[in-house]
């Protein structure tokens, strides 16, 4: 089942989501929500989807960056973004326990801010502790694009959109991004947009 992805302006996107208990995580309702969120994310397509994006204010996100999503990027772009495939997984009640001081800036979009993209600085390396869909604790050390995805989805769980962190002058429609900036280095984009 595909769920409706809510857009910027919906109050649920600006509220801190509540943590889930072990019993709630293991419940049939949460397990069904996870399945529907996975299907919705893949159908969009996207690399992550947080529960608030489908109108549910709980600390739950699904993440997957399939190799097929990398087809339009050059090898140089993938290397620059440190982007590699990430298997499907569920992140519940996550918290960042380490964030490196180095940041990376790239264009970022969001399924809840449909049709737009902007340059967003994010920590290049993070460590996240969370519960999986079986309510088991997990810890992941992520870098590059995977770290970006985790930070983006965790922001959703705290009522934050990428537009709160973006470099405002870089906001672009997706067609204009493709037309004007697709193959331009981030530093050059920033320089030309002032």
Residues noted as catalytic: 153
Cβ proximity of 118 and 167 under 8 Å: yes
Q: Which residues pair with residue 109 across a beta bridge? A: 117
Q: Beta strands 125-131 and 116-123: pairing type?
A: unpaired
Q: What torsion do the CA atoms of 1, 50, 30, 140 make, to the nearest 10 degrees?
A: 120
* CB proximity list for 15: less than 8 A, separation 6 or greater: 52, 57, 159
Q: Distance of alpha carbon 88 from its chain centroid, rounded? A: 13
The DSSP bridge partners found for residue 60 are: 92
């Amino acid at each position: 089942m595909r769920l409706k992805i809510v857009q910027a302006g919906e109050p649920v996107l600006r509220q801190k989501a509540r943590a889930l208990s072990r019993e709630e995580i293991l419940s049939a309702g949460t397990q069904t929500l996870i399945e529907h969120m996975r299907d919705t994310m893949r159908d969009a397509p996207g690399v992550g989807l947080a529960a608030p994006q489908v109108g549910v204010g709980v600390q739950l996100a699904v993440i997957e960056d399939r190799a097929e999503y990398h087809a339009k990027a050059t090898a140089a772009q993938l290397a620059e973004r440190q982007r590699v495939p990430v298997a499907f997984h569920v992140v519940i009640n996550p918290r960042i326990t380490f964030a490196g001081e180095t940041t990376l800036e790239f264009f970022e979009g969001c399924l809840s801010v449909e049709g737009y993209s902007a340059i967003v600085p994010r920590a290049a390396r993070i460590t996240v502790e969370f519960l999986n869909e079986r309510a088991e604790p997990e810890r992941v050390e992520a870098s590059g694009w995977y770290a970006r995805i985790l930070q983006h989805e965790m922001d959703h769980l705290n009522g934050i959109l990428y537009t709160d962190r973006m470099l405002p002058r870089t906001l672009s429609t997706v067609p204009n991004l493709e037309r004007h900036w697709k193959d331009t280095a981030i530093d050059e984009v920033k320089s030309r947009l002032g």
